[in-house]
Copies of this chain bind each other. A is one copy, B any other.
């Protein structure tokens, strides 16, 4: 394997699982994670970056493995007292998690970029993999619903993804700039670009749509490989399948391939979806079939190895 960088585009939980697998297989300097910041929002005056934080907690081995979000050994005194004060209680903020948000908010107020604050946190926690927010400007994912537009966390957490989605808007994205560190790596030192099995609409699309990102990906010589978050017609976690259904799109890995068509060179789908191979190949997309559901660390590492093997195969000009 060459010494180029593997660049993973990641949302929260699903993406972080594959990123963790990759971190076990690759030396840290060879892995870069570009995180979705469209979910970021201000709550209680604090800047909260759920996807970036999930990746950081996962790579720092601080993630709560049972919940899939937040910190291990978390306590919840802040929320109890905030409730007693009549404050908003729809978004759970753990006591330790607050330290991250407060440090970040303070750093941003002092003029640091989100990239700088993220690097500071990584360094403090011994995360040697580069974790790079997709941009340093504020982008806010809005879910257009039958009840009107909803800020993403209102849709996702407060309203539990119940409103019917009609589309997505990324407020502020036209004024954002793809993170230069990510663009530089994609342009000059990428060996593979991996679109992790995060939600295509609200986790990956914001990354792809931040100005400068898609063109960098398309110009890169590295293969772009997506791992389908849809397995057997359902989403492993989160509202991806529900959103597809509401948007009138069949809930199938084939439609994920169509969604990324023109950008991806190859796709990893689950064994249960093997029958979709011909149709995906007809889109001009190479396909690797393997077990993609990541129940434990072994699965994460196994999938990471499969994705990297596909990448090597692609770099060698191979055909399946």
Contact = CB atoms under 8 A, between A and B. Distances in A.
Interface of A: 44-46, 71, 73-75, 77-82, 84-87, 94-100, 102-103, 105-106, 109, 120-121, 124-125
Contacts of A97: 81
20 contacts: A45-B105, A71-B81, A74-B77, A77-B94, A77-B95, A77-B96, A78-B95, A78-B96, A78-B99, A78-B102, A79-B99, A81-B97, A81-B99, A82-B99, A82-B103, A85-B99, A85-B103, A85-B125, A87-B102, A95-B95
Given A75-B75, A124-B86, A81 B96 contact: yes
B87 A45 contact: no
Nearest to A73: B77
A319 B98 CA distance: 58
Report, nearest first, the 3 A-B pairs whose CB atoms are least far apart: A95-B95, A81-B99, A77-B95
Contacts of A95: 75, 77-78, 81, 95, 98
A95 B87 CA distance: 15
B87 A99 contact: yes
A75 B73 CA distance: 12
Contacts of A46: 102
Contacts of A71: 81
* Interface residues of chain A: helix, strand, loop or mixed (majority): helix
A156 to B, nearest CB: 22
B81 A78 contact: no
A84 B97 CA distance: 12
A69 to B, nearest CB: 16
Contacts of A45: 102, 105-106, 109
A95 to B, nearest CB: 4
A103 B81 CA distance: 10
A105 B46 CA distance: 10
Given A73-B77, A75-B77, A87-B99, 10 more contacts: A44-B103, A45-B105, A77-B95, A77-B96, A78-B78, A81-B98, A82-B102, A82-B103, A84-B125, A95-B98
